[in-house]
Amino acid sequence: MPITEFLARNAAHYGDEIALVEVNPEIRELETRNDWKEMSLVERNFHSGYRKTLTWHAFDEQANQFANYLQSEGLQKGQKVAILMMNCIEWLPAYFGVLKAGAVVVPMNFRYSADEIAYCLKLADVDMLVFGPEFVERMNAIQGEIELRQQLFVGEPWERPPYAKAWQTVTARCSTKPPLTALHDEDEAAIYFSSGTTGFPKAILHNHRALVCACEVEQNHHSQTHGDIFLCIPPLYHTGAKMHWFGSLLAGGRAVLLRGTQSRWILETASWEGATVVWLLVPWAQDILDALDAGELKLEDYDLSGWRLMHIGAQPVPPSLIRRWKQWFPAHGYDTNYGLSESIGPGCVHLGVENIHKVGAIGVAGYEWQTKIVDEAGKPVNAGEVGELCVKGRGVMLCYYNDPEATAAVLKDGWLHTGDMARADEEGFIYLVDRKKDVIITGGENLYPVQIEDFLRAHPKIKDVAVIGLSDARLGEIAAAIIEAKPGMDCTEEDIQQFCRDLPRYKRPRKIIFAPVPRNATGKIEKPKLRKIYAGGSVVAAQMEG
């Protein structure tokens, strides 16, 4: 059964009930400012809509309208439609509209630069694109580089660029009836982007069966019911956010999309919306605890009585964080999940609410998943020994799109080789040890050292550079740049800070270390040696701003 059937079923059973809520605290706070009364009517309308809702019936109808529009424009089954939007009430109807049309949906990272957007559109052979107002400037910059059948804009009319059609206008004219498209479990459904050791994105292809697997795994792990309310904070382009929401889709439960990550906003929204399940990243949980410890937030100001489960993913979770969380929220169940975009997001390894005594482990094989840890020869290792974690299940990707060599490197006899080094204890609980890849996970986002290194090497005073990850209590890891200056050059921290302002903020190194960059006989940077030198924190490093 394709995943679109779950939406149609919910519309039939719960049509008038609210399916989605979008909450934008910035708008509410804007309306309380003194200059609100001084705004023109157009400006007020632009900033209106602190809270938007969509019923299951309207959700399904909007998806049908978009699907019918795509087909009316000649889009064929299996062709690609990308979504480049911040979390909003239109995001999921657009996603399901693409699927209902028989097309392949391609969610895109909203952090991508203009060049990265162009690269990924070409990589995935995208035919059409749906994008929001936050991306107009980036889309303007690449109009001469991309070839799309059509671009659709989701936003206010006066913001729409001339090369794009208005999504709301063109879809409103279309039928709300389901399109006449035969969908099957094995049909291609979605492409998500990941990256290898070089930092260049790979296009990960999944079918409908894998998406349904994500629904069933999530609902099995966290027992969502029709009465649960899921507070979704991470971006919907990310498999983690969407696959956790898939449990709500399966149960017909409400989801609240919060646009913002401030601690007060999270607690306010959880209180006002009656959230029962909240998924956090480590930095957000850390910020909430710090604010509570400092007295900046007081639990008595909120009604959090319905909140039953807090779970964290996307990066290793410090056990001390969970101990602190349980001190403030003793009634909360806690869980963590491990996964990759290649395994349709979180859930292939699962700790389980009942196993909080094993905090620090990522867990055991998830619902209907298999795991093994193997050595370099592909043979299983003994308990306590380190090897590469491999997973197998219905949610494993079909392939890296148009990249058979990369696919063959990680898919072997149905097993996905994750590239993560792990060990299992005597009870079978898995602990991550290190990654084969040099990817740095900071605040749940992947940083690719090669990209940052290539950027820094363009600085006229830099001879060589290496970027490694260092542990950080809040973000999990931060990027540290070891910089070797050219002989006779006076390269300063201020020079690097200024130069890095051309990088997206999240990609900027948080620490700058001026030191030699060791390379082996073949010219490769000896990053294990650098980690051994600097991971202990003994070096005095320059801390960059925000």
- The domain ranges of the chain are 440-543
In whole angstroms, give the CA distance from residue 543 to residue 510. Answer: 6
Q: What is the CATH code for 440-543? A: 3.30.300.30
Beta carbons of 281 and 443 less than 8 angstroms apart = yes
Specify the pLDDT at position 33.
56
Q: Which amino acid is at 316?
A: P
pLDDT, block means (10 residues), the chain with 546 residues: 96 98 84 55 54 96 98 96 96 98 96 92 97 97 95 95 96 96 95 67 95 95 96 90 92 96 95 95 86 94 96 76 92 92 91 90 95 94 93 97 96 94 93 74 79 85 90 89 90 92 90 87 70 65 35
* Complete DSSP assignment for 56-99: HHHHHHHHHHHHHHHHHTTPPTT-EEEEE--S-TTHHHHHHHHH
In whole angstroms, give the CA distance from residue 333 to residue 309. Answer: 5
In whole angstroms, give the CA distance from residue 501 to residue 494. Answer: 11
Q: Helices (H), strands (E): how many in the chain?
A: 17, 28
Specify the pLDDT at position 32.
62
Element (H, E) at 26: helix 25-31
Q: Which residue has the tokens 């039953």?
A: 308
Considering only CA atoms, give the Rg of the chain. Answer: 24
Query: Mapping DSSP to helix (H, G, I), strand (E, B) and coil, where does residue 206 land?
Result: strand
Q: Pairing relation of β-strands 254-258 and 126-131?
A: unpaired
Specify the pLDDT at position 231.
97
Beta bridge pairs of residue 373 = 389
Query: Mapping DSSP to helix (H, G, I), strand (E, B) and coil, where does residue 479 land?
Result: strand
Closest CA to 526 of 496, 482, 485, 461: 482
| Residue 438 CB partners (closer than 8 Å, separation 6+) | 197, 448, 449, 450, 468, 469, 527
3-state secondary structure 215-279: HHHHHHHHCCCCCCEEEECCCCCCHHHHHHHHHHHHHCCEEEEECCCCHHHHHHHHHHHCCCEEE
Beta bridge pairs of residue 216 = none
- Measuring CA to CA, how many Å separate 46 from each of 155, 165, 259, 530? 10, 19, 16, 50
In whole angstroms, give the CA distance from residue 113 to residue 137. Answer: 10
In whole angstroms, give the CA distance from residue 130 to residue 389. Answer: 36
In whole angstroms, give the CA distance from residue 395 to residue 536. Answer: 38
Query: Mapping DSSP to helix (H, G, I), strand (E, B) and coil, where does residue 425 land?
Result: coil
Element (H, E) at 288: helix 282-293
